Amino acid sequence: MQDPVLPSAAPMDEPHKPEEFLKRFARIGEHCEVFGNALILNPEVIELGDWVRIDDYCRLEGGAGIRMGTAVHVESFSSIFGGGTVEIGNYLGIGQGARVITGSGHPWEAVLEPEFPEDDLWVRRKLRVVIEDYAWIGANAVVLPNVRVSTGGVVSAGAVVTKDVPPWTVVAGTPAKLVREREPFEILPEHWKPDARPTSLL
Ligand SMILES: CC(C)(COP(=O)(O)OP(=O)(O)OC[C@H]1O[C@@H](n2cnc3c(N)ncnc32)[C@H](O)[C@@H]1OP(=O)(O)O)[C@@H](O)C(=O)NCCC(=O)NCCS
Per-residue model confidence as pLDDT tens for the chain (202 residues):
444 444 444 345 789 999 999 999 999 999 999 999 999 999 999 999 999 999 999 999 999 999 999 999 999 999 999 889 999 999 999 999 999 999 875 655 556 555 666 666 555 677 899 999 999 999 999 999 999 999 999 999 999 999 999 999 999 999 999 999 999 999 887 787 766 655 544 4
Which has the closest alpha carbon to 104: 84, 130, 90? Answer: 84
What's the CATH number for 19-189?
2.160.10.10
Mutate to test the pocket of ligand 1, among 165, 170, 178, 181 (most ligand atoms within 8 A of CB): 170
Query: What is the CA(178)–ligand 1 centre distance, in A?
Result: 11
Query: Of all atoms in ligand 1, which is nearest to the CA of residue 139?
Result: 44
How many angstroms does the Cα of residue 157 sit away from the middle of ligand 1? 7
DSSP string across 5-66: SSPP-------BPPHHHHTTSSEE-TT-EEBTT-EEE-GGGEEE-TT-EE-TT-EEE-TTEE
Q: Which residue has its alpha carbon closest to ligand 1 atom 39?
A: 156
What are the extents of the domains in the chain? 19-189
